[in-house]
Amino acid sequence: MADKERIAWLDVAKGTSILLVVTLHATHYLREYDLASYGFVQINNLFAPIRMPLFFAVSGLLGTRAVTRRWSELLTSRLVIFAYLFALWTFIRWAYFGNVQTNVLTPEEGSTYAELLVAWVRPNTGIWFIWALAIFFFLGKLLYRVRHLALPVFAVLAFLTFGHVIEIDAFSQRNLVWYAPFFLGGAWYGHHILRAVTERPLAVGILGGAVFAALSIAVASLEGLAFGAGRLVLSVAGLAVGAAVSIALAAFLPSRTALTYLGRNTLPIYVAHVMIVAALAAVLAVTTENVPLVRYWGVPFIVAVTVVLALGLKAAVDAAGLRWAYAPPVLPRRAAVAVGTA
């Protein structure tokens, strides 16, 4: 399969992942107001083994070259950008939920300055994924020469954490351990994974689907190490299903067009969507008391509106010349160098 087609399905996978993330948060916030059917909780639980493993695996696949660059290049192309965005949007969220709207899921958010410091070690918001990406890229570069030994170690750590042998209270730190094998596997062995998946997508999808279906039922009765192994394999199987479905969606023009666009614009949705979802959920709570079936259409409605508003916010910010909201500002010296080498 051509590289162009491979990139298309990778973007489709990222686009699908961001929709699953927004759906999860829309469900959480609407459930606080009893405005979401339990069916949406079940849907989110079904996709839990796919949602973030798919996102991080694809991010790793797309970051294969970055972890083989010099440290200086990785620093400027990834790490500095992630640190900047994490600091900026952690502050924006902190200010919003501390002064504009109480976060009904975590009412304490925005109440103390200490949160801004603790976030660098133990983020407690949806911005954690930027923090995780920075750490993953750092580890991907640092351990590249010993990747054949390092990946099994990270897989074992994930297995032990899934199995509650290693207990980690902070969800962001726990997620870091859970999803490290998926990002690092993609970053270190991306070409092999792409070839295996794209050459036999149907076989990958069928096998992954069978394992996913079986384990989705079985893990409910497992405990300890057995649960840890089952949960880790479930995510691997879910990743196979997600990849196969993404390839199928990429072959269908309407879904490819929409999901590719979302996949290439995940950042503005990720960083802003929780604030938008929280605001929309609060509005629905006071305006739909007598509206029929809101518990069934509320979640997809909020997902659609949130995505549009997040992308619209990005466009408005860019039009206003405030691009520093989504990327570090270009310093005069850096700009002069860029012009001189153009």
Per the structure, how many domains does the chain have?
1
* Helix, strand, coil shares, percent, the chain, to 5: 80, 0, 20
pLDDT along the chain (342 residues), means of 10: 62 96 98 96 95 95 94 95 97 98 96 96 94 98 98 98 95 97 97 90 96 94 94 96 94 88 96 98 93 95 98 97 92 47 35
Would you give the DSSP letter of residue 169? -
pLDDT value, residue 6: 46
- The predicted pLDDT at position 254 comes to 83
Cβ-based neighbours of 255, under 8 Å, separated by 6 or more:
12, 249
- How far, CA to CA in Å, does 156 sit from each of 33, 54, 190, 202? 40, 19, 20, 29
Which range of residues forms the domain containing residue 27? 3-340
- Report the C-alpha gap between 231 and 234 in whole angstroms: 5
Give the pLDDT of residue 7: 77
| DSSP state letter for 167 | -
Encode burial over 12-22: b for 16+ CB neighbours within 10 A, e otherwise: bbbbbbbbbbb
Q: What is the pLDDT of residue 332?
A: 58
Distance, C-alpha 33 to centroid of its chain:
25
As a whole number of angstroms, the distance between CA 185 and CA 64 comes to: 10
Q: Which structure tokens are listed for 154?
A: 């990270």
| Backbone phi, psi, residue 74, to 5° | -65, -40
pTM: 0.92
Nearest by Cα to 239 from 265, 262, 215, 255:
215
